Chains A and B, each alone.
Chain A
Amino acid sequence: MIRANKLSKFYGGKRALGPVSFEISDGETVGFLGLNGAGKTTALRILACDLRPSSGTIEIGGVDAVADPHEVRKRVGFLPENPPLYTEMAVVDYLKFAGELRGMTAAQVKKRLPEVLEIVDLGDVQNDTIDTLSHGYRQRVGVAQAIIHEPKLVILDEPTRGLDPVQIVEMRNLIHDLKQNHTVLISSHILTEISQTCDRLLVLNKGSLVGEGTETELSKEGEIRQITVTVRAPSGDDPKAQIVKILSGVTGVSKVGDAYEQGGGWSFALSTQTDCRAAVSRAVVDAKLDLLKLDYARSELENTFIRLVQGGADASN
C-alpha cells in the first residue's frame, strides 16, 4: 500500500523529518508515535500529498506520490490535527462539497451520504451548521469528510486531541470500524490510544524513525524489566548507601535507580534484563534487612517508548 524510501522534509534549513523508510501493507492500522515535534504530522501531510518531501520517494497504491499527487489524493482521506471545516455550512452541504471535490458525482454523494452519517453517527445533526456543533461532533465531521469518497487509505492526525473521555472512547470505536474497510494511519503522542487501536507502530523522534513493529516486538528489543523493592532502613550511617551496595551486587541488576522513602522504608527501582526477584529478596534477607515490598513490572509500551526516544536522542547528540 505505502512504500516510503529515504523520505525527508526540511523547513528552510531545519530538518523536520527523515530520512525515513518504511512500508505499510493493505488493511494495516499503523500508529505514528512520537513526542510533539517528532515529525509525525509532517510525515502524514506528505502521505496525504499536502506537502511535498524535500527528498526521497513515496509510493501509495503503486502510484508515485511526488510525480502524480493528483492521482494519489483520490485514494487518500485525511483528517488533519485541526479538522478542515467550513463552519458556516450545514454538515450535509459540507460533506457533499467534500465528496464532489474528491471526484464523486452528485448521485454518488447522495448514495454514500447516509452510510457515512451512520458510520460517524452524525444523523441527528446533519442539517445543523458546523459552527453550532461541539468539538467532538466537529471531529466526527472531519472523519466523515476523510471517508466520504471511500478512500483505501485513511490518515488521522491526532484524532482524539481535545476530546473528553467519552468522546475518546467513541472515536476509538469509530477507528475500529474504519479498520474493517480501510488502511488506517493514526498519529498520536498518547500511548494508550495507539496501543489500543493499532496493529503496528512507527516510533519517531526528532524526525528519525527509532522503532518499528508491533508493541510486543518493540518491547522485546533490549527488553527492560523493572523491579521495585522496598526495604526497612537499617541502623547506622548512610542506610541508603548500604542498601544500594547490596542491591547493586545482585546478579542481573543492571541499574539501581534513585531511592525514595515509602512506608517506613526506602524504595528503589531496579532495572534488570531478567526476572531476578528471587535473587533480590535473598540478597536483602542475607544482609539481615527487612524486605517490606517487592513489585515486578514487565516492560510496557511506555517504557519502550521512553527507551526508544531516549535512544534516539542519544543517537542524535
Chain B
Amino acid sequence: MRAISIIFKRELGRYVRSPIGWIIAALALLVEGILFQALALPGDNLSAIVLERFFYWAQGIPLFCGVLLAFRLLAEERQNHSIILLKTSPVRDSEIVLGKFFAALTFLAIILALSIYMPLLIKVNGHITGAQIFVGYIGLLLEGAAVLAIGIFASALTSNQIVAALLGTVFVAVLMLLFLLAKRLEAPVQGAIEQLDLWWLHYQTGFMRGAINLKDVIYYLAMTYFFLLLAVKTLEAKRWQ
C-alpha cells in the first residue's frame, strides 16, 4: 500500500506539472463544451433530455482522455529505462500498476470535475436533481477506469509509446463497437456479446439516464480488474522472457 502511494504521488505530480496533461484536459473540455453548446442545448427539450445528451457527448472525455493518459504509463518507462528503478525496488508489479492507475484515474476525475459547470447550468435552468448528475458522473468515472485499465495493459505490452497508443485505441474501439456485432448475431451469443460492450448497454441505457444498475457497476469494475490483472501479468512475464 505504501509503494502504491509513493508511485501514485509521483505520477499524479507528473500529470499536474506537465503541460501535456493540461493540454489533454483543455482539448477534451473544449470539444465537450462545443458539443454541449451545439448539440445538447438546442431545441425546446426537457432538461432531463438535455442532461442525457450532455452525458452522451461527455463520454468522449473518458474514452479520449483515458487512452491518452494511459498509453505512456509503462511504455515510456521502458523506453527511458526508468522502469528498472521500479523493478529492482522492493515493489510488486501489482503495486506499480495500481499506483499508476490510481494517479491516472485521479487526473481523469479532475478533468471530469472541470466539466461540471455544464450540468449545473442545466440544473439551474431546469428540473433535474443532483442525484441524476452524480449518477452520470459515476458512470463516466467507471467507464474511464475501464478505459484506463485497457490503456495500461496496452502500455505494458510494448516499449513503443505510439504502438501502445494504437493498441489501446484499437482495444477500446473494439469493445465499444461490440454492440454492432451483437445486432448481427442470434441469441444466446447476441446477449453475451452485448453484455461485453463497453459503451452502449452499460452506460447509455443506465448511467446516462440517471439509473444505477448493479450489473453495470460490476461490469465496469470487472473490466477494470481484468485489464489491470493482464497488465500485472504482462510485467511479471517480461521478467521471465
The residue of chain B having its C-beta at the shortest distance from the C-beta of A48 within the complex is: B88
For the complex, give the distance between the alpha carbons of A88 and B239 in Å: 27
A84 and B85 contact, CB distance less than 8 A: yes
The proximity string for B residues 138-166 relative to A, scoring 1 for CB distances below 8 Å and 0 otherwise, is 00000000000000000000000000000
A76 at the interface (CB under 8 A from B): yes
B84 and A50 contact, CB distance less than 8 A: yes
Question: A84-B82, A86-B82 are known contacts. Are A97 and B88 too (CB-CB below 8 A)?
Answer: no
A70 and B84 contact, CB distance less than 8 A: no
A80 and B90 contact, CB distance less than 8 A: no
B6 and A50 contact, CB distance less than 8 A: no
The residue of chain B having its C-beta at the shortest distance from the C-beta of A12 within the complex is: B241
For the complex, give the distance between the alpha carbons of A85 and B14 in Å: 14
Which single member of B10, B82, B89 contacts A73 (CB below 8 Å)? B89
A50 and B239 contact, CB distance less than 8 A: yes
A82 at the interface (CB under 8 A from B): yes
The proximity string for B residues 220-241 relative to A, scoring 1 for CB distances below 8 Å and 0 otherwise, is 0000000000000000000111
User: Which of the four size classes fits the interface of chain A?
Assistant: 20 to 34
Chain A residue numbers with a CB within 8 Å of B239 are 50-52
The residue of chain A having its C-beta at the shortest distance from the C-beta of B83 within the complex is: A84
A76 and B88 contact, CB distance less than 8 A: yes
A145 at the interface (CB under 8 A from B): yes
The proximity string for A residues 46-77 relative to B, scoring 1 for CB distances below 8 Å and 0 otherwise, is 00111110100000000000000011011010
Taking CB atoms and an 8 Å cut-off, the chain A residues in 135-170 that contact chain B are 145
Chain A residue numbers with a CB within 8 Å of B240 are 52, 54
Can you name 21 A-B residue pairings with CB atoms under 8 Å? Answer: A11-B241, A12-B241, A50-B87, A50-B88, A50-B239, A70-B92, A73-B90, A78-B88, A84-B81, A84-B83, A84-B84, A85-B82, A87-B80, A98-B85, A100-B6, A101-B6, A101-B7, A101-B85, A101-B86, A102-B90, A145-B85
The 8 lowest CB-CB distance pairs between A and B, nearest first, are A84-B85, A82-B81, A101-B89, A84-B84, A73-B90, A84-B82, A78-B88, A48-B88
Query: Which B residues lie at the A interface, using CB under 8 A?
Result: 3, 6-7, 10, 14, 17-18, 80-92, 239-241
